């Protein structure tokens, strides 16, 4: 065997390793150039699932924001309905004079109009979230695209009072419907929050697993590159020296 043959073989192997390291460092992908069988396909699948779960986190956050908007509106409605009930109770007082009654009537109408306006106009992202009929929305709950239905209300009947008389009874109806609506919202805040937490955890795990399979470990790969570059340098020198020896032998023979 020629003295230059073995160093030349090692030089070829080392050069290939150097090229692989450069490829991995420049692309950031460990799955290039000789990665273990199956790493790429498995990594791609995990990354797709992880990204999908990240989208679930975003989608559920929108749903949570919608529910929080509905909750804020319902809390304000509860305060207004409570005041409407107080007005109705105050109107039953036989000591009220004409001015008292007029003031109570004016306030009852104003409060009633405010309740009805909020119910009909409360919106999130230009979507009505309350109303006199039920409001339901579909929300993505997992990376497979399955959905769950959330409800903000079964409907809140218009109060539409014309004076204070009997406004306490009207308020009782509104308060009951508001309580039910708040129950729906509270329950869905918990359930959607659970879906979001689950998707967030899965996204972190899946993307981390995909990264371990697919992404370059820069510290390790840089160390390999430095090592193989030095070996390549010494192997090149050895091949050169061996070739010189072979040439000198030929000259002596001649």
CATH number at residue 148: 1.20.1330.10
Treating both helix axes as pointing N-terminal to C-terminal, what angle do 218-253 and 5-27 enclose, rounded to 10 degrees?
A: 160
DSSP for 60-80? HHHHHHHHHHHHHHHHHHHHH
Q: Residues 111, 195: one domain?
A: yes
Residue 88, domain member (yes or no): yes
Give domain status of residue 21, yes or no.
Answer: yes
Instruction: Specify whether 192 is located in the same domain as 222.
Output: no
Q: Which residues contact 208 (CB under 8 A, 6 or more apart)?
A: none
| Better-scored residue on pLDDT, 6 or 114 | 114
Mean pLDDT of all residues belonging to the chain: 84
Report the DSSP pairing between strands 147-153 and 135-140.
antiparallel
Same domain flag for 125 and 11: no
Q: Look up residue 194 and give its DSSP letter.
A: H
Q: How many angstroms separate the CA atoms of 190 and 236, rounded?
A: 67
pLDDT of 182 reads 98
Beta bridge partners of 123: 128
**Structural domain contains residue 59:** yes
55 and 159 belong to one structural domain:
yes
Regarding whether 116 and 81 lie in a shared domain, the answer is: yes
Residues 193 and 130 grouped into a single domain: yes
SS3 state of residue 27 = helix
Q: Are residues 168 and 202 in the same domain?
A: yes
C-alpha–C-alpha distance, residues 77 and 119, integer Å:
8
Structure tokens at 48: 């797709």
Q: Do residue 225 and residue 160 come from a single domain?
A: no
- The per-residue pLDDT for range 224-241, each reduced to its tens digit, is 657 666 666 666 666 666
Q: Is residue 34 part of a domain?
A: no
In a domain, 194, yes or no: yes
Structure tokens at 179: 């309580």
Based on the fold, state whether residues 129 and 208 are members of the same structural domain.
yes
Phi and psi, residue 156, nearest 5°? -120, 115
- Does one domain contain both 50 and 129? yes
- pLDDT tens readout for residues 109-143: 999 999 999 999 999 999 999 999 999 999 999 99
User: Do both 69 and 187 map to the same domain?
Assistant: yes
In a domain, 33, yes or no: no
Question: DSSP state, 92?
Answer: T
Domain count of the fold of the chain? 2
pLDDT in tens, 35-93: 555 677 787 888 899 999 999 999 999 999 999 999 999 999 999 999 999 999 999 99
Residue 227 is assigned to a structural domain of this protein: yes
Angstrom distance (rounded) from CA 136 to CA 177 = 15
The residue segments making up the domain with residue 249 are 5-28+216-253
* Torsion (CA) 95, 101, 103, 104 in degrees, nearest 10: 90
Q: Are residues 141 and 180 in the same domain?
A: yes
The pTM of this model reads: 0.74
Phi-psi category of 110—alpha, beta or left, where left has phi over 0 and alpha has psi -120 to 50?
A: alpha
Distance CA 240, CA 244 (A): 6
């Amino acid at each position: 065997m020629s003295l230059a043959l073995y160093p030349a073989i090692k030089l070829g192997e080392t050069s290939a390793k150097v090229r692989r390291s450069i490829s991995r460092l420049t692309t950031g992908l460990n799955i290039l150039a000789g990665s273990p069988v199956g790493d790429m396909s498995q990594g791609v699948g995990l990354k797709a699932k992880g990204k999908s779960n990240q989208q679930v986190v975003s989608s559920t956050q929108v749903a949570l924001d919608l529910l929080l908007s509905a909750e804020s509106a319902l809390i304000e409605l509860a305060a207004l309905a409570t005041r409407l009930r107080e007005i109705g109770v105050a109107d039953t007082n036989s000591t009220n004079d004409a001015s008292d009654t007029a003031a109570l009537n004016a306030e009852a109408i104003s409060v009633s109009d405010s309740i009805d306006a909020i119910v009909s106009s409360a919106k999130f992202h230009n979507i009505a979230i309350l109303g006199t009929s039920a409001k339901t929305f579909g929300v993505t709950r997992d990376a497979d695209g399955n959905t769950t239905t959330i409800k903000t209300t079964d409907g809140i009947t218009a109060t539409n009072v014309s004076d204070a008389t009997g406004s306490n009874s009207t308020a009782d109806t509104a308060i009951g419907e508001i309580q039910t609506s708040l129950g729906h919202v509270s329950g869905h805040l918990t359930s959607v929050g659970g879906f979001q937490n689950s998707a967030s955890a899965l996204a972190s795990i899946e993307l981390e697993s995909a990264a371990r399979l697919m992404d370059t470990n820069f510290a390790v790969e840089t160390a390999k590159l430095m090592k193989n570059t030095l070996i390549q340098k010494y192997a090149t020198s050895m091949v050169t020296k061996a070739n010189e020896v072979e040439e000198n032998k030929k000259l002596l023979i001649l």
